[in-house]
């Protein structure tokens, strides 16, 4: 089941017909008679484009420097996206949405070669949107209520999140996910490129704990990085949007059945 994704999420998948139209405006004039053969003549490609973070690269200073974003987004994230497109150029995995692609290439725990690239493209998109300039501090409304329900209090949640990040060894990510089966929020730590989408859960916030995410700014002071993320970068706006969407798929409360 493909989720309807708002534009901010999906890396742009160019629709086959649009791509065709873009590329053969000159051919149209030359081959009017062969109109029915256009789709055969032109090579039609779908690809996953690199989306920009929803803020300028220096907007997260001083907590995440411009140089870090230039490298992290401009080289590393772009590198994953290019590698993915190269891998999929002649592959039967054609035309999926990102989420479908991740689930398919995860292959139930026996990942295909495309998995790492696909998942890292999605993970990084998600990460940029999990942050904002002037972020941090407290959530509000439904998100805060749900956090208090599932963790006791916001400060419990914050401590647990920071602790989980500090406990991660090697490269990986820390997530606040909404578990679809348990119907509650949970903090999850994953290694390398693993993404909670593969278990059917709905991520709400993520933090990149690969060293390339913080080494230039914080070197080995991981605790400062995580605390700055919690206090100044985390985007509760995004979290709220994602929770609202998630509630379309997960029933978090008791249904309000009107009494006759």
Partner 1 sequence: MQHHTLSCCGGVRPSLPPPPLSFRWSKIKREGGRRLPRCARIAAQLELKPPPYSLSSLEPHMSRETLEYHWGRHHRAHVASLNNLIAGTDLDGMGLDEIVVVSYNKGNPLPLFVHAAQVWNHDFFWQSIKPGGGGRPSGRLMELIERDFGSFDRMLEEFKRAALTQFGSGWAWLVYKANRLDVGNAVNPCPSEKGNKLVVLKSPNAVNPIVWDYSPLLAIDVWEHAYYLDYENRRADYVSIFLEKLVSWEVVSDRLDVAIERAAERAREDETRRQEDDAAVTHSEAVEMYLDSDTDDSEAE
Known binding residues for Mn(2+) are 72, 124, 208, 212
d(CA 238, CA 197): 17
Query: Contact between 210 and partner 1 (CB under 8 A)?
Result: yes
Query: Contact between 163 and partner 1 (CB under 8 A)?
Result: no
Question: For residue 218, how many other CB atoms are within 10 A of its CB?
Answer: 19
d(CA 187, CA 164): 8
Asked whether the beta carbons of 162 and 226 are under 8 A apart, the reply is yes
Peptide bond into 62 cis (omega under 30): yes
**First and final C-alpha spacing in the chain:** 36
Query: Contact between 175 and partner 1 (CB under 8 A)?
Result: no
Largest CA distance in the chain: 70
d(CA 148, CA 130): 20
**Among 169, 181, 248, 260, interactor with partner 1 by CB under 8 A:** 169
Closer residue to partner 1 (CB): 70 or 145: 70
d(CA 124, CA 167): 21
Binding part of the chain for partner 1, among 155-163, 179-187, 191-199, 233-241 by CB under 8 A, reads: 191-199
Asked whether the beta carbons of 96 and 115 are under 8 A apart, the reply is no
Query: Contact between 170 and partner 1 (CB under 8 A)?
Result: yes
Query: Contact between 187 and partner 1 (CB under 8 A)?
Result: no
Query: Contact between 71 and partner 1 (CB under 8 A)?
Result: yes
**Among 134, 220, 231, 244, interactor with partner 1 by CB under 8 A:** 220
**Among 163, 212, 249, 253, interactor with partner 1 by CB under 8 A:** 212
Query: Contact between 18 and partner 1 (CB under 8 A)?
Result: no
CA distances from 75 to 22, 78, 79, 188 (A): 27, 5, 6, 27
Q: Shortest distance, CB of residue 233 to partner 1, whole angstroms?
A: 20
CA distances from 228 to 106, 163, 238 (A): 32, 14, 18
Closer residue to partner 1 (CB): 124 or 242: 124
**Among 23, 34, 37, 75, interactor with partner 1 by CB under 8 A:** 75
x-marked contacts with partner 1 along 99-138 as a string, rule CB under 8 A:
-----------------x----------------------
Q: Shortest distance, CB of residue 169 to partner 1, whole angstroms?
A: 5
Residues that bind partner 1 (CB under 8 A): 71, 75-76, 79, 116, 169-172, 191-193, 210-212, 215-216, 219-220
């Amino acid at each position: 089941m493909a989720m309807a994704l708002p534009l901010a999420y999906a890396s742009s998948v160019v629709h086959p017909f649009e791509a065709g139209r873009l590329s053969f405006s000159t051919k149209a004039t030359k081959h009017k008679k062969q109109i029915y053969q256009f789709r055969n003549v032109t090579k039609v490609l779908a690809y996953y484009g690199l989306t920009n973070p929803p803020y300028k690269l220096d907007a997260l200073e001083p907590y995440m420097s411009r140089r870090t974003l230039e490298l992290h987004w401009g080289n590393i994230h772009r590198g994953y996206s290019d590698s993915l497109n190269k891998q999929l150029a002649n592959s039967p995995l054609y035309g999926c949405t990102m989420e479908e692609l991740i689930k398919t290439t995860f292959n139930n725990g026996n990942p295909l070669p495309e998995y790492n690239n696909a998942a890292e493209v999605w993970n990084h998109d998600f990460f940029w949107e999990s942050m904002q300039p002037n972020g941090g501090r407290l959530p509000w409304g439904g998100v805060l209520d749900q956090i208090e329900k599932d963790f006791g209090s916001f400060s419990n949640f914050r401590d647990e999140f920071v602790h989980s990040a500090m406990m991660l060894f090697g490269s990986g990510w820390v997530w606040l996910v909404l578990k679809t089966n348990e119907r509650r929020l949970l903090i999850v730590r994953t290694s390398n490129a693993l993404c909670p989408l593969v278990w059917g859960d709905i991520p709400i916030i993520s933090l990149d704990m690969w060293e390339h995410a913080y080494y230039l700014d914080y070197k080995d002071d991981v605790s400062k990085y995580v605390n700055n993320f919690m206090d100044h970068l985390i985007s509760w706006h995004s979290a709220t949007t994602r929770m609202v969407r998630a509630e379309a798929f997960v029933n978090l409360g008791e249904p309000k059945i009107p009494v006759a």
